[in-house]
Amino acid sequence: MSKELVILESPGKVKAISKYLGPSYHVIASNGHVIDLPSKELGVDIENNFKPTYKVINNSGQAQKILKKIESLAKTSSRILIATDPDREGEAIGWHIANRLKDSNDKIFRVTFNEITKKGIQNGLQNEGKIDQNLVDSQQARRIMDRLVGYKISPFLWKTVTNGLSAGRVQSVALRIICERDNDIQKFNPEEYWTIKAQFSNKEEFFNAELFKIDNKDFKVSNSDQAKKIESEIKKQSFKISNISKKKIKKSPMPPFITSTLLQSGVNKLGFSSKKVMQIAQQLYEGIELGSKGVVGLITYMRTDSTRISTEAIDELRDFVTKKFGVDYVANKTRKFKSKKNIQDAHEAIRPTSVNYEPKKIQNYLSKEQFKVYQLIWSRFVATQMKDALYDQTVVDIDSENYKFRISGRVIVFKGFTQVQNYSDNLVDKDAEVTLKLPKNIDVGKEVYIDKVFPEEHFTKPPPRFNEASITKELEDDGIGRPSTYATIIERLLVQKYIEKKDKKLISTELGNIVNNILVENFSEIFNIKFTKKMEKNLDKIEFGEIEILDLLNKFYKPFEKTLELVNQKRSEIKKTAQVLTGEKCPSCKTGDLVIKWGKNGKFIACNNFPKCKYTSSLVDENETVKKETEIVGKCEKCGKGSLVVKFGKFGKFIACDNYPECKNIISEQIEVNCPVEGCDGHIKNKITKKGKKFFGCSNFPKCSFATWNKPISKTCDNCKYPMLEEINNIKTKESYYVCPSCKKKYDAL
């Protein structure tokens, strides 16, 4: 009896699916795309309705071998089941393979597995169909548009900037968003503002409150003079408790994960890159060996923008919550979440294939990273069918004739869905108990006494730089990209060195800004958010059968072609503006100017007469360091001959005489923190013990003996009003936090 042939996309699923299907099926994987547009030519006949030319991928013959094996097995198989991934790319892969098996067309069927479990595979087999041509057309339209942009604009970048650069229809918009954010940060001018807090007492205890209204209106204190005036007026006035209001508030759980929210949580909570989160999610989806159970797919398909959960999974979850946490924790009715419009709702949200695979029970079968991602997904899913968390919120208003102060806070009274945090190492969205410090004996109308007033200076902050989580959210909110592309967009920009990652922040590079400026100035119609969002919506419309592929490609290409013609006419002018001149003449040809260029190994210097003159020279970052080390900040008062210059040593930046070794004058860099000792007018500075260990001490030593091993921070403790905090870096636990050296209050962030 002949077998049925099942064609998968990923080889990681072959073992698990073979186990569930049994010996009557032959399971093989395509290893992704085996047929695509040619790599070294456009492959799109623009004059012939954008007809694509597809070829077997040239990856050392691997794709050809896979296709030959599939064709051989297809001849002897009773049925052929195309089981590639349930999305546009998977549909296109299946379509290409089906076209190679035209002789067997009557026995080719399309099946999709939303989860790699016995139940998921049975459901897939029971709902077999045919290749969805609308999905295929949507993928083809995206692929053709991307190819046209890449092949028409990338060579333009080669000629104006340097070889090897590329432009992408979606990735270039993502680059623009990052560059514009960085530009906003550079242009940002901080504005001064002040907040005013006060310490009150009721003759029994002290408590703090913040100024909320002046003359019952919102206010803004812009400078120290205004703050001092208000402080003076407040001290003259009488205060009483004008209002005590209490109410119950509730907080609902977040929806189950979709691709974008999983990436955001993986980056923010686990510190992983987007690429890493997707790789681990793929492993969990394809299956993990669970001892005697064999290979089990632990989560549903991880590329989705739907928050839908199957009725069967919800029933299983509600039963689990009842048994695990008690009936009081189960939501009164099934909670459903709304998905965004025009989504690909072919499969569910990202959830465990079975909630009974509790993270801690299968932890020994998972790597540390797999466990963290799985626990994140499991916890978020479990919370969806649990009751809301309930809080008692209290607001206390303290009024005088002109000024209103307010204290507000909340205390949790029913943990609800947050109870799952205790079981999942706090990986669900946190909302810990809030301690509300209020005086015990207060009533409305009761007089309180002003003890101290604390004006605090602040400055407005620029918008934050993007990290991988926030740029993913930005792309999603702007309707740019799809679940399958978020991680690859970021990775591509990093590989191209258009952006770089510093302290987990994504920062545009000099090269990235040059490329972005050229693209935005010359192709603004294409590389903008509105246009890209419209194209993504149109791709969805093709998928839903609302518009034809040819209509979209014509609307896209005709204005694009006109823009290309205009830009190519002024290419030489654009090239001049893209060049970064060094201000030096070429030492080889004597006529060319030396410019900075970019290559595989970073920046270098070259003659702009290339290719007539092929002079190049290395450009190393060490030159910038040398300039920093020779920065003159003043005359050395000790020897009277040398200059004081900025240097960098074992303990960071310091100032020293350049007449060394004749003069050994060294000045530690001053830290902008005043000595906290009352009556001392000194400042804190870096110091070094005789054994070479770094510490911080008062500049008035030995008159003032203040010293600490921890770095001082100019921030007043809001608890005891000590004028300084200290930064603590625990090497063993890798924790960083701040602490008041006086009352020991801990601050996770400032």
**What pLDDT, in 10s, does the model give residues 451-506?**
999 999 999 999 999 999 999 999 999 989 888 888 999 999 999 999 999 989 99
Average pLDDT estimate for 374-387? 96
Per the rule left: phi > 0, alpha: psi between -120 and 50, beta: everything else, 256 is beta
Gyration radius of the chain's alpha carbons: 33
Tokens 């970048």 belong to residue:
157
List the helix and strand counts (H, then E) for the chain: 19, 34
Phi, psi (degrees; rounded to nearest 5) at 317: -65, -45
Q: What is the pLDDT of residue 131?
A: 95
**What pLDDT, in 10s, does the model give residues 426-442?**
444 444 444 556 777 78
- For residues 529 and 478, the answer to whether their CB atoms sit within 8 Å is yes
Residues of the chain with CATH 1.10.290.10: 271-387
Residue 693 has pLDDT above 90, yes or no: no
Per CATH, the number for 271-387 is: 1.10.290.10
Residues of the chain with CATH 3.40.50.140: 4-131
For the annotated catalytic residues, the residue numbers are 301
Residue 666 has pLDDT above 80, yes or no: no
Q: Which of 639, 673, 681 is nearest to 657 (CA)?
A: 639
**β-bridge partners, 322:** none
Assess if CATH 3.40.50.140 describes domain 4-131. yes
Residues of the chain with CATH 1.10.460.10: 141-188+472-574
**What pLDDT, in 10s, does the model give residues 55-103?**
999 877 899 999 999 999 999 999 999 999 988 999 999 999 999 998 8
CA 191 to chain CA centroid, nearest Å = 28
- What Å distances lie between residue 701 and 683, 707, 709, CA to CA? 10, 9, 16
**What pLDDT, in 10s, does the model give residues 619-664?**
654 434 333 345 565 677 778 777 777 665 544 456 777 777 677 7
Q: What is the pLDDT of residue 680?
A: 83
- For residues 54 and 99, the answer to whether their CB atoms sit within 8 Å is no
Q: End-to-end CA distance of the chain, in Å? A: 71
Residues of the chain with CATH 2.70.20.10: 192-252+391-459
CATH fold for domain 141-188+472-574: Topoisomerase I; domain 2 (1.10.460)
pTM of the model: 0.75
The mean of the pLDDT values for the chain is 87
Which class would CATH give 192-252+391-459? mainly beta
DSSP secondary structure string for all residues of 124-159: HHHT-B---HHHHHHHHHHHHHHHHHHHHHHHHHHH
Q: Are strands 746-747 and 735-739 parallel, antiparallel or unpaired?
A: antiparallel
- For residues 494 and 471, the answer to whether their CB atoms sit within 8 Å is no
